[in-house]
Structure 1
Amino acid sequence: METILTQRRAFLQTSGALVVGFTLPAAGRAAGAPAVANGAASIPMGAFLRISADNRVSVICGQSEMGQGVFTAIPMMVAEELDADWPLVSVENGVDNALTNPIFKFQGTGGSSSVRGFWMPLRTAGAAARQMLVSAAAAQWQIDASQLRTNKSFVLGPGGRSASYGSLAEAAAKLPVPEKPTLKNPSDFRILGKSLSRLDTAAKTNGTARYGIDVQLPGMLVAVMARTPLAGAKPKAVNEAKALAIKGVKQVVTLPTGVAVLATGYWAAKKGRDAMAIDWDLGGDGSLNSAAVTQMLDEGARQADAVARKLGSVDAVPGTKIEARYEVPYLAHACMEPMNCTVWVRGDEAEVWIGTQGPGPQQGVLAGVLKTTPEKIKINMQLLGGGFGRRFSFDASTDAALLSKAAGVPVKLVFTREDDMAAQFYRPASVAQMEGVVSGSSLASLKVGVSSPSIGVSSGTKVGPGEVDRLAMEGLADHPYDIPNQLLAWGRKEPGPKVWFWRSVGHSQNGFFTESFIDELAYAAKQDPYEFRRSMLGKSLRHKGVLELAAEKAGWGAPLPKGRARGIAVVSSYGSYAAEVAEVSLNSDGSPRVHRVVCAVDCGQVVNPEIVHRQAEGAIVYGLTAALYGRITYKDGRVEQTNFHQYPMLRMHEMPKVEVHIVPSTEAPGGMGEPGTPPISPAVTNALFALTGKRVRSLPIDPAQFKA
């Protein structure tokens, strides 16, 4: 028999098992949503618990697991306040309105929001369930609940009495849900703050973990598409006969996004797709090239007029003026699992198997595509082989849905690596025109014009003329430095390629711009780069704290072996603060060698320190790969990079030693999936300047700049 505690105290009799759902109005209030007693107008934001007769607790996690550890962190938050026995806790993925992300107001995973968004809702859910179990035991034993305590999934009473949660769950489910259960004092935590083993490790190592690309259904066809090289491109002619001549190919379907070949297996579909050898009409964008992109962004940066931050006046500030231009390219996400989705359309209903960061939006978008309602779209969540923002998109699911509708059978659409690399979901290319005025040893003025395409517009947000896309300016407009005169503005330019969320979003490029230029200004002021930053952080003690810790642990100022130098950077994002010191040398061909990275993070209260360490390390690898190699370029309207031989990843022998230090904190949790990425590129390039006297102002780093 299995039991779930519920606000509505509703029972579902299923195969002899007692099943009761549980959500909390308090969780809605924690998310800033209105709530009314008895849940009449509350927004369901809590967890789901299942407590079985053998005392096992299953936590339903609505967040997508893409390697960041939510399948462990989410259950830890519930289990702590529930006072559950951790070895008996398991996790399941689920799609339900009750699992809405309190920050996004829909079910989705991104922006390093899982822990910081669910910190109070899930703890409240666990605490309420524990209180109900205690009340059930008190009623059975006819004693006051104040005489009882809990420990490892048991309610304990005087005289050695005890009752397991499993034995009490059915009675507890009939009790009213407490609206304001008492939460534990952090000093009493026995689960939170501990480096517990991840719950998904076994499945990911023994091969039982299910990713989207693993889905197999009876009668399923596999689709591979010849995708349009640019939005609006059209095939001049499609030779379906060549595709249909391939054994196993069943159908050719043309969609607005390309031409798909459906076959009994992947290899036949790919051979059929390749056999068509489509000649594309690229239209007016056929001449798109990277030089033109740069020219357009340069113009946008010079003319930037959407003001994101203004303080004092940057006109006629006395002192030494320093000017610099910075640039970053388009970047692909390069998830190890290429994009894929399986859809089975049956009438006005559809069932979907996908590894997605946004199951909630997927339901809405697919309902629109199939002209039905979201309730008739069933999403089966799969594990994600990397997300990084890419799996918030809808290209795979919408195309798979249309193909299934056309074929009348389940269809699994699979992107090749080349398809994914050229799919036009990129981190924006961006240019920044920087101007600072140094007066004596201090920074008197900062003026910046940034130009980029708009992620907000690409993802459906309205950004009018003269308005700022906050995603384009985050990491710059919210920099922490005390500077009396500032003017930071954005100039939107749209060269053509579609831009999208990328790990740390705007912070990834703006962290590079800001921390590189601050370093330049430190040298212009004849100040140590660390001390220069530290002197301007009087209003942001958390920035200052991580900066000081990183410098201390890295031995800032201590002698290094000949041919090595250090660089430093500090950036905050998603409620967390990260400072990094990179220790760098040069190889004989002029390419950088990063030997050591010291990272200090302040992410508020920590759920699982080991997960924090791993996320910081992974974010550094991701950002370092981009700094050394990442670049998507265009020539004659087409992407020039097709696979990892042209879009390299950091290799094992290139991996630096990474040390992560966590600042103890009682602040609310911040995110950790992304904050380690923004500081790494400026830390490395600042170290290169300290080593060579040559400033890197565009990424990826060009070894020719340093070749002897």
Structure 2
Amino acid sequence: MFHGRVVPTFVTRQLPKPSRRQFMFGVSYVGAALLIGCSSSEAPAPAKDADIAQAGAEHPAATPPPPGKPSPFEAYLAVGADGEVTVYSSQFEMGQYSYQGLATLVAEELEVPIERVKVEGRAGNPAWYGNLTMGGALQLTGGSSSIPTSWQRYREAGAVAREMLRQAAAQQWNVPLSEVEARDAAIVHNGSGQRAEYASLLQAAAKLTPPTEVALKSPEHWTQIGKDSTQRVDARDKVSGQQTYTIDVRLPGMLYATVLHSPRFGGKLSSFDATVAKAVPGVVDVVQISRGVAVVANTTWAAIQGRRALKAEWDNAAAETRSSSELFAEFEQLAAQPGSLALQRGDNAAALAASNKQIEAVYRFPFLAHAAMEPLNAVVHREGERLHIYGGLQMPDVVQGTCAQIAGIEPAKVDLHVMKTGGGFGRRATPDSDIFVEATEIAKALNFRAPILLQWTREADMGAGRYRPMHLHKVKVGLDADGKISAWDHSIVGHSIFAGGPFASMMKDGVDPSSIEGVVDSPYAVPSMEVQVQHPASPVPVLWWRSVGHTHTAYVMETLIDEIAEASGQDPVALRLALLKPDARERGVLQLAAGRAGWNEPAKPGIHRGIAVHSSFGSFVATVAEVSKSDSGGIRVERCVVASDCGVVVNPDVVRAQLEGGTGFGLSAFLGERVDLEGGAAKQSNYDGYTVLRMAAMPKIEVHLLKSAASPTGIGECAVPPIGPAVANAIYKATGKRVRDLPFKAAS
């Protein structure tokens, strides 16, 4: 559907033994580099874009397989003549340090110091880079899956390279293979002490038949996995200002563009007058595209000035014209009506009617912008029959297929240049490839006569972007005479991310799974539970936002558990433990966070504690929040203790950073973020109105990692869900007020 071609699917192979795995790899030797790949004797040809300059030259495009031929190379890594290792990443880097994780996996097995590893993003062939956690047919960075999808694949690539280099050395020295070992980017003979750097063995290794079985290192022999690295693979470029992003790409003859979108979501262009805009110095042209009008100029600033001078009329017949308050009023009416059944456990109506006590609550969650530091941008350049696309390619296969159709070429002729990006949080994983579609349409309107760098302003990103959907939860919980939960009636109303789009097949019986995750799969023992969902339509475009549905479902579940604890006279931690199965992994992080926070000890004077625990994307996080209240009633979050179980921790410092960042991200949404609609248009347009967390409001954060031998699970999103309810529960202790309308500043 997205690619215009048949997409092969990865098949996950079973381990014959715990430490061994069979797989076929092909090898080739090109330009004094040993390239490790799958079932191929060819290396990917280098990008042939003579016009790529400056930043563009640093990001070669992946070469798709020629029609009728098998994939030429499964490019996971290359060992250069200088001994430097390049890891080709299937995962998009947007500040979450996926590159660091993949580099560590390869370096561990290849026995190479991380200081000698660099990473490049690759895309354009799902047979090489399909996300294994999602079936393998689509390359996608999301769902906190970078390490889970790479855990076996990249370690195996490093192990194959290691074994072939060992074999080459053993043959060259005429010694048994058992007497040579890989050590510090070289092969060493234990008997004679002979040593050969990898570079000197490359040609010989490339001629060998790759092993069909290879042993991965056992955990007790790991020297890099699970250890704090002193070197980040991209640290030098970042601190020296040499790191390049899409906005830094410079190609000869490049033009710059911005787009004027409808101020109301769903509005259609009726007409426009470009006379004044074209008179702005530097403006080259003004062209209509599918979503608005683009101004093209010699500089981005000239394009922005031209857009401001542009006059346009819009047809709002199909546009959203309601305000956020009107939408919430509609949601509340819908919540009182029957919806699509998402879960039915027991005779909930009877159990609720027979309950001794009931707790009722209504929660409102506003639209949220992703608000990444780098607004959306893309570069499109056609050279002959090939189309080059540069940008934050979170869903590259979709971009490749969509833009190929616009340009009128085969997807195999679209070369994708993966750029690092200043944040994403889900915004760059758009099923309709919005920014790339616009850039391609602009380039096409100009007959592809020049490379186009399309740059959205912050105002465009917030006013015409995609939002975390609005949701309303209406819940009624029944307690029996002993204070135990006997019934749980839960109605959810919110805009659907999946309905009507390319992922509509994920809808089941009218239910968007992203709206109910964290509720229907709650680990708490609730004997009777009914969950109904409704998805009212709106032209407002919605999208996944860091931790998706867990952003609101965890909040509802974890604040209600605290209310139940108070109503039944129980300690919040004790109640949660009583509701969890003995083997539930939530127990470990809950006890760890509570213990490290001193839950059972009196808090310092003026400090109030709250706790929450939640599982998302296969990982488990518990957060204890401590808040203080000023004499004027102001609330400040002073300290957060975060405990996580994400299986094997590949990079502890990266995991800690993600837990800290996720905590701040979720806290920011809880304290002040919201997008309000007025007459169908977004009221907030920049950081002055959309108030993300300031440094001065960031609390002290302590992170504790639970040791685990389980396979690694995701961590990029998992600290976001529990921070809001933990703080809300602490605020109740401080003020006696429940926070049910978010954000907190708007509710206080």
If the TM-score is normalised by the length of the shorter chain, which range does it land in? Answer: over 0.9
**Would you say 1:99 and 2:147 are equivalent positions?**
no
**Alpha-carbon distance, 1:565 to partner:** 0.8
1:325–1:400 Cα change, 3 Å: same
Look up the match of 1:298: 332
Any gaps of 5 or more consecutive residues in structure 2?
Answer: 1-23, 41-67
Taking the TM superposition and a 5 Å limit, the aligned residue runs for 1:510-521 are: 510-521=553-564
Which residue of structure 2 aligns with residue 228 of structure 1? 262
Secondary structure of residue in 2 paired with 1:457:
coil
For 2:578 and 2:303, locate their aligned partners in 1 and report how far apart those are by CA, in whole Å. Answer: 61
Match of 1:133 in 2: 165
The SS at the match of 1:316 is helix
Residue identity matched to 2:307: R
**Cα distance, 1:589–1:386 mapped onto 2, change above 3 Å:** farther
| Corresponding residue to 2:378 among 326, 341, 362 | 341
Aligned position for 2:99: 71
Structure 1 residues 260-271: aligned runs within 5 Å: 260-271=294-305
Instruction: Tell me the distance in 2 between the aligned counterparts of 1:690 and 1:45.
Output: 59
The equivalent of 2:219 in structure 1 is: 186
Superimposed CA distance per residue, residues 436-481 of structure 1 (whole angstroms, 9 cap, x where no aligned partner): 1122132222221111111122652125673322111112222111
Q: Does 1:314 align with 2:348?
A: yes
1:9 aligns with 2:23: no
Cα contact 1:458–1:500 (8 A) shared by 2? no
Counterpart selection for 1:371 from 395, 408, 432? 408
Q: How does 1:576-587 map to 2 (within 5 A)?
A: 576-587=619-630
Query: Which whole-Å deviations, capped at 9, do the CAs of 1:114-150 have from their partners, x for residues lacking one?
Result: 0011101111111122111112222222232122222
- Deviation track 1:92-120 (CA, whole Å, cap 9, x = no partner) reads 22224222222232222111100011101
User: Separation in 2 of the partners of 1:44 and 1:621?
Assistant: 44
* 1:7-44 per-position Cα deviation (integer Å, ceiling 9, x unaligned): 333454x5xx456452379xxxxxxxxxxxxxx99999
- Tell me how far apart the structure 1 counterparts of residues 487 and 74 of structure 2 sit (CA, whole Å): 47
Is contact 1:348–1:370 with CA below 8 Å preserved after alignment? no
Q: How far 1:213 sits from its partner (Å)?
A: 1.3
SS in 2 for 1:420: helix
Describe the SS at the equivalent of 2:640. Answer: strand
For residues 586 and 571 of structure 2, the distance between their equivalents in structure 1, rounded to whole angstroms, comes to: 17
Compared CA separation, residues 321 and 282, structure 1 to 2 (3 A): same
Q: Separation in 1 of the partners of 2:599 and 2:450?
A: 62
> Which SS does the other structure have where 2:744 is aligned?
coil
- Cα deviation per residue 1:347-380 (whole Å; 9 max; x = unaligned)? 6531111122122221112122223221111111
Tell me the distance in 2 between the aligned counterparts of 1:321 and 1:200: 55
Work out the CA distance in 2 between the residues paired with 1:402 and 1:448.
Answer: 45
Equivalent position to 1:454, from 496, 500, 504: 496
- Distance change >3 Å, CA 124–CA 43, structure 1 → 2: farther
Q: Which residue of 2 aligns with 1:415?
A: 456
Q: 1:645 aligns with which of 681, 688, 700?
A: 688
* TM-score in terms of structure 1 length: 0.92
1:164 pairs with 2:212: no
Which amino acid in structure 2 is aligned with residue 9 of structure 1? V
Matched, 1:387 2:420: no
Match of 2:415, SS state, is: strand
Preserved contact between residue 345 and residue 401 of structure 1 (Cα < 8 Å):
no
Q: Does 1:243 pair with 2:274?
A: no
Q: What's 2:548 paired with?
A: 505
Amino acid at match of 2:493: S
| 1:529-608 aligned within 5 A | 529-588=572-631, 590-608=633-651
Q: Greater CA deviation, 330-339 or 86-95?
A: 86-95
Q: Counterpart amino acid of 1:303?
A: Q
Change (3 A) 1:561 1:21: closer
Q: Distance in 2 between matches of 1:10 and 1:565?
A: 62
User: Residue type matched to 2:607 in 1?
Assistant: R
Q: What code does the residue aligned with 1:8 have?
A: G
Aligned counterpart in structure 2 of residue 173 of structure 1, from 196, 202, 206? 206
Amino acid of the residue matched to residue 27 of structure 2?
R
- How far the C-alpha of 1:160 sits from its partner, in A, is 1.5
Equivalent-residue separation in structure 1 for 2:69 and 2:224 (angstroms): 33
In the alignment, is the contact (CA less than 8 A) between 2:33 and 2:202 conserved in 1?
A: no
Instruction: Find the counterpart in structure 2 of residue 276 from structure 1.
Output: 310
What does the per-residue CA deviation read over 1:182-219, in whole Å, with 9 as the maximum and x for residues that have no partner?
Answer: 11110110011111121111111111111111112111
Q: Distance in 2 between matches of 1:406 and 1:659?
A: 53
Distance 1:405 1:469 in 2: 36
Match for residue 151 of structure 2 among 85, 103, 119: 119
Q: Deviations over 1:498-518 (max 9, x none)?
A: 110110011111111111111
Q: Output the amino acid matched with 1:353.
A: Y
Deviations 1:24-77 (A, max 9, x none): 79xxxxxxxxxxxxxx99999965221123322221112111111112110100
Q: Provide the rounded CA distance (Å) in 2 between the counterparts of 1:125 and 1:447.
A: 50
Contact 1:357 1:391 in 2 (8 A): yes
Are residues 129 and 536 of structure 1, via their aligned partners in 2, closer, same or farther at CA, if it must alter by over 3 Å?
Answer: same
Residue identity opposite 2:98 in structure 1: V
User: What amino acid is aligned across from residue 142 of structure 1 in structure 2?
Assistant: N
Q: Deviation per CA, 1:563-603, whole angstroms, max 9, x where unpaired?
A: 32111101111111000011012345544210001000001
Consecutive unaligned residues of structure 1, counting only runs of 5 or more, are: 1-5, 26-39
Question: Structure 1 residues 484 and 287 mapped into 2: Cα distance closer, same or farther (>3 Å)?
Answer: same
Against the structure 1 CA distance between its residues 253 and 189, is the aligned structure 2 distance closer, same or farther, given a 3 Å change threshold?
same
User: How many angstroms apart in 2 are the aligned matches of 1:44 and 1:330?
Assistant: 45
Moved more, 368-377 or 653-662: 368-377
Deviation larger for 298-307 or 336-345: 298-307
Q: Can you list the C-alpha shifts for 1:273-331, whole angstroms capped at 9, x where unaligned?
A: 10124343322435221122112322343335333333222122233121111110110
- Aligned equivalent of 2:250, options 216, 219, 227: 216
**Residues 591-650 of structure 1: CA deviation (Å, up to 9, x unaligned):** 421000100000100111000110001111111110011111111121111111110111
- Which stretch of structure 1 is more off in the superposition, 597-606 or 137-146? 137-146
Contact kept? 1:45, 1:99, Cα under 8 Å: no
RMSD: 2.2
Aligned to 1:34: none
Q: In the aligned structure 2, how far is the partner of 1:43 from the partner of 1:534?
A: 51
Q: Flag the 1:668–1:538 CA change in 2: closer, same or farther, 3 A.
A: same
1:401 — aligned with what?
440
Q: How far 1:181 moved relative to its partner?
A: 0.9
| Contact 1:343 1:410 survives alignment (8 Å) | yes
Q: Secondary structure at the match of 1:627?
A: helix
Judge conservation of contact 2:108–2:155 (CA < 8 Å) in 1: yes
Q: Is the contact made by 1:300 and 1:491 (CA closer than 8 Å) also made in structure 2? A: yes
2:29/2:203 contact within 8 Å kept = no
Counting matched residue pairs gives 684
Could you say if the C-alpha distance between residues 704 and 55 of structure 1 is closer, same or farther in structure 2, counting changes exceeding 3 Å? closer
CA–CA separation in structure 2 for the residues paired with 1:259 and 1:417:
17
SS at match of 1:653: helix
Per the normalisation by structure 2, the TM-score is: 0.88
